[in-house]
Amino acid sequence: MLNPPDPAIVARIAETLRRARRLLFITGAGISADSGLPTYRGIGGLYNDQATEENFSIETALSGSMLEANPAITWKYLHQIENSCRGARFNDAHAIIAEWQDRFEVCVLTQNIDGFHRDAGSRNLIEMHGDIHDLLCTRCDYAATVPDYSELDMPPSCPRCHARVRPRVVLFGEVLPSGAIQHLYRELDQGFDLVFSIGTTSVFPYIAGPVVQASQMGVPTVEINPTDTNVTRFVDYKLASSAAASLRAIREALLNAA
């Protein structure tokens, strides 16, 4: 069981928040742990270092090249990941971030493909790795959002042109969406008064970079993660607790001091 958030650190974060206007939240799988989701290893999680039933690494099974060569394999494991999300919903951490849009200018940069930030109401949202519920045809302009994959044939095909369908996610070996990257650059150019890193090990440069850059520029930084990560040494405030418990404590401290 995780320790509760340190009240002294929570109070200092709340004090910093009271002086802030623009906030950046960078989130990874850990923010969805309180929703009952596994903390994924990349997009492929659930598997740790195990090979798939076909004796592929999960990175190979969930790669763009595998989707092209053998879509049934890629969709098999996409279906397993989607099934692990099915029936879950956003938690207090997602909700509090969305709630703070009424008080601050909030930008959310997430690696998660569960769609919880969108469901919670976050508007200025950069889904760097996409959303597993959004489907796109690889030939025509067909697009759809499906609540779960149980209604799909596997592997699914386009109802219009019968070509291959894919989820709007970044598979292994694929490039990041240029629109999301440009969105992030525009937000970073405007600057932030406080940067949160929540539930991510920050292994990717585009996830760690904004935290490191903020630290170098003297912008306050917060990490919420039970373990140390690639950015821990750069942050001003560290809460080694769950995302939901930490953000509830910060919200309470912020309200009590108002």
Residue 156 CA to residue 139 CA, distance in Å, equals 13
Q: What is the DSSP string of 145-174?
A: E-S-GGGS-SS-B-TTT--BEEEEE--BTP
Please check whether residue 184 is in contact with residue 129, taking contact to mean a CB–CB distance below 8 angstroms: no
> Is the N-terminal amide bond of 226 cis, ω within 30° of 0?
no
Determine whether 129 is an active site residue: yes
Scan for tokens 């956003």, then name that residue: 90
Residue 93 CA to residue 120 CA, distance in Å, equals 9
Instruction: Please tell me which residue in 129, 133, 162, 183 is annotated as part of the active site.
Output: 129
User: Tokens for 217?
Assistant: 């520029």
Query: Which residues are the active-site residues?
Result: 129
